[in-house]
C-alpha cells in the first residue's frame, strides 16, 4: 500500500502527516523543507531541547535529526525520545555530515531507523522518508485495530490503560489536572432481558456515538471499560469542567429516547456517571484516581441513578 491507501485504511480519520526537521543550520532546514513542503506538515527545530518539546506537544510522524548541534547532540535527543513512552515509536532518521561506519552503527544502535549523509539528495531523502512513513503507518494501523472495541468502535480497555498511563505522565510533568469520567447504563441487564441482546448492542453503539461526539479534543479519549461501562480520559480538565462534560453526556444519552420500560428511573435509557480529578504528583499513582472515579459512580447509582457525582483528590 502507498501512504494515501494506508491513511484511508484507518478506522478513524488521520490528519496530515507531520515531519520534524531538526538542524542548527537554517540552510539545511530550508533545503529539507523544500523537499517536503506541500505534501506534509513540516515542523522545524534548531536545537535538541526544542525538538524534544515539539515531539511531546505535536507528536510528529517522523524526525529528520542532525547529529552535531549546540547543547545536547542528536544522539542524546534520540536516546531521550526512545526512553519516553510518549515518543518512543516516532521513527528517527539521522541526517548528518558524519559518514563513518561507526557513526552509522551508533545511530542505529540507539534507535534510529536510517542514516542519510549530507549534502542531501532530494530524491533519496524523499524516497527513504516515504518508506519509513509507510512502515510506521502499517504498524500504527495494526495497533489501532488492536486497540478498538469491536462492537462500539471506540477504544478498548487495553487502549484506555495505555492512554491513562501516558496522560498521567503528561499531567505530572506539566502539573495539570487529569479527570476521569466513568459511566454506566442504568438497569442495562433489564434492558437486555426485555428487548434482547441485539437491541442491547444497538443501544451500546448509540451511547458510544454520543460519547465520541461529546469528547473531541486531541488528547481526550473515550473507551469501553467493560460490559455497559464506558470511561473518558480528560487531561487538562478540572473537576468543574469534567462534571459539566459528564452532565452534557448524561443529557445527550437521555435525548436519544431509547425506550427502556424495564428501568426504575424512567421510560428511556439513562446513565449514571462518576467524575474524579487529580493533579498528579510523584507520591501518587493513577490507581487512586481510578478508585475514586469508581467510588463516585457507585455513589451516583446508590443515590438514585441518572445523575453525576464528582470528587477532587487533593
Catalytic residue among 41, 101, 109, 228: 228
Question: Per-residue pLDDT tens for 155-198?
Answer: 999 999 999 999 999 999 999 999 999 999 999 999 999 999 99
Residue 118 — pLDDT band, cuts 50, 70, 90? confident
In this prediction, residues 120-135 reach a mean pLDDT of 92
> Is 272 found in the same domain as 221?
yes
Handedness of CA 166, 169, 175, 181 (dihedral sign): positive
> Is 216 found in the same domain as 173?
yes
220 in any annotated domain: yes
pLDDT at 163: 94
* Residues 271, 187: Cα–Cα separation, whole Å: 9
pTM of the model: 0.77
Helix (H, G, I), strand (E, B) or coil at 24: coil
> Is 178 found in the same domain as 116?
no
112 in any annotated domain: yes
> Is 186 found in the same domain as 104?
no
In this prediction, residues 265-288 reach a mean pLDDT of 95
> Is 134 found in the same domain as 170?
no
Q: What is the CATH number of the domain that holds 286?
A: 3.30.70.270
% of residues, the chain, pLDDT over 90: 78
Asked which of 146, 169, 187 is the last residue of a domain, the reply is: 146
pLDDT at 103: 75
> Is 112 found in the same domain as 234?
no
pLDDT at 168: 95
Question: Per-residue pLDDT tens for 46-98?
Answer: 999 999 999 988 999 999 999 989 889 999 999 999 999 889 999 999 998 87
Query: What b-and-e string marks burial along 143-153, b requiring 16 or more CB atoms within 10 Å of the CB?
Result: ebeebbbeebe
* Residues 180, 238: Cα–Cα separation, whole Å: 10
151 in any annotated domain: no
Q: How many domains does the chain have?
A: 2
Q: Does residue 119 have a cis bond before it (omega within 30 degrees)?
A: yes
106 in any annotated domain: yes
pLDDT at 11: 63
* Residues 93, 67: Cα–Cα separation, whole Å: 10
Query: What b-and-e string marks burial along 63-100, b requiring 16 or more CB atoms within 10 Å of the CB?
Result: bbbbbebeeeebbebbebbeebebbeebbbbbbbebee
175 in any annotated domain: yes
Average pLDDT, the chain: 92
Residue 140 — pLDDT band, cuts 50, 70, 90? confident
237 in any annotated domain: yes
CB atoms within 10 A of CB 200: 18
> Is 181 found in the same domain as 133?
no
Q: For residue 111, give its domain range.
A: 3-146
Asked which of 87, 113, 146 is the last residue of a domain, the reply is: 146
Asked which of 114, 146, 178 is the last residue of a domain, the reply is: 146
> Is 13 found in the same domain as 129?
yes
40 in any annotated domain: yes
92 φ, ψ (degrees, to nearest 5): -120, 125
> Is 244 found in the same domain as 136?
no
Q: Look up 228 and say whether it is catalytic.
A: yes
> Is 213 found in the same domain as 128?
no
Residue 144 — pLDDT band, cuts 50, 70, 90? confident
pLDDT at 12: 64
> Is 245 found in the same domain as 264?
yes
In this prediction, residues 269-293 reach a mean pLDDT of 95
Strands 41-45 and 62-65: unpaired
Helix (H, G, I), strand (E, B) or coil at 257: coil
Residue 123 — pLDDT band, cuts 50, 70, 90? very high
Owner of C-alpha cell 506534509: 40
> Is 173 found in the same domain as 122?
no
152 in any annotated domain: no
pLDDT at 99: 67
Q: What is the CATH number of the domain that holds 32?
A: 3.40.50.2300
- Rounding to the nearest 10 degrees, give the CA dihedral for residues 99, 103, 108, 109: 170
* Residues 72, 36: Cα–Cα separation, whole Å: 26
In this prediction, residues 263-270 reach a mean pLDDT of 96
Amino acid at each position: 500500500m502507498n501512504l494515501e491507501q494506508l491513511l484511508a485504511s484507518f478506522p478513524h480519520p488521520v490528519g496530515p502527516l507531520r515531519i520534524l526537521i531538526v538542524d542548527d543550520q537554517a540552510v539545511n532546514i530550508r533545503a529539507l523543507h523544500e523537499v517536503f513542503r506541500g505534501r506534509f506538515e513540516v515542523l522545524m527545530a534548531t536545537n535538541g531541547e526544542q525538538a524534544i518539546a515539539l515531539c511531546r506537544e505535536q507528536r510528529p510522524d517522523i524526525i529528520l535529526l542532525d547529529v552535531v548541534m549546540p547543547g545536547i547532540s542528536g544522539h542524546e535527543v534520540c536516546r531521550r525520545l526512545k526512553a519516553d513512552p510518549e515518543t518512543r515509536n516516532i521513527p528517527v532518521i539521522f541526517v548528518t555530515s558524519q559518514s563513518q561506519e561507526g557513526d552509522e552503527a551508533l545511530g542505529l544502535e540507539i534507535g534510529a531507523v536510517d542514516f542519510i549523509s549530507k549534502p542531501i539528495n532530494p530524491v533519496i531523502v524523499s524516497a527513504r522518508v516515504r518508506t519509513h512513513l509507510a512502515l510506521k503507518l502499517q504498524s500504527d494501523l495494526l495497533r489501532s485495530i488492536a486497540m478498538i472495541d469491536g462492537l462500539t468502535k471506540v477504544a478498548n480497555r487495553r487502549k484506555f490503560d495505555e492512554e491513562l498511563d501516558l496522560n498521567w505522565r503528561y499531567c505530572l510533568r506539566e502539573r495539570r489536572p487529569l479527570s476521569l469520567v466513568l459511566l454506566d447504563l442504568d438497569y442495562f441487564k433489564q434492558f437486555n432481558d426485555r428487548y434482547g441482546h441485539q437491541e442491547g448492542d444497538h443501544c451500546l453503539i448509540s451511547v458510544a456515538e454520543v460519547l465520541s461526539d461529546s469528547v473531541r479534543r486531541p488528547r481526550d479519549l473515550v473507551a469501553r471499560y467493560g460490559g455497559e461501562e464506558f470511561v473518558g480520559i480528560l487531561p487538562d480538565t478540572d473537576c468543574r469542567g469534567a462534571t459539566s462534560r459528564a452532565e452534557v453526556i448524561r443529557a445527550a444519552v437521555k435525548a436519544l429516547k431509547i425506550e427502556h420500560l424495564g428501568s426504575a428511573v424512567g421510560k428511556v435509557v439513562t446513565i449514571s456517571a462518576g467524575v474524579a480529578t487529580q493533579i498528579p504528583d510523584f507520591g501518587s499513582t493513577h490507581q487512586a484516581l481510578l478508585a475514586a472515579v469508581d467510588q463516585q459512580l457507585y455513589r451516583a447509582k446508590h443515590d438514585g441513578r441518572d445523575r453525576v457525582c464528582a470528587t477532587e483528590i487533593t
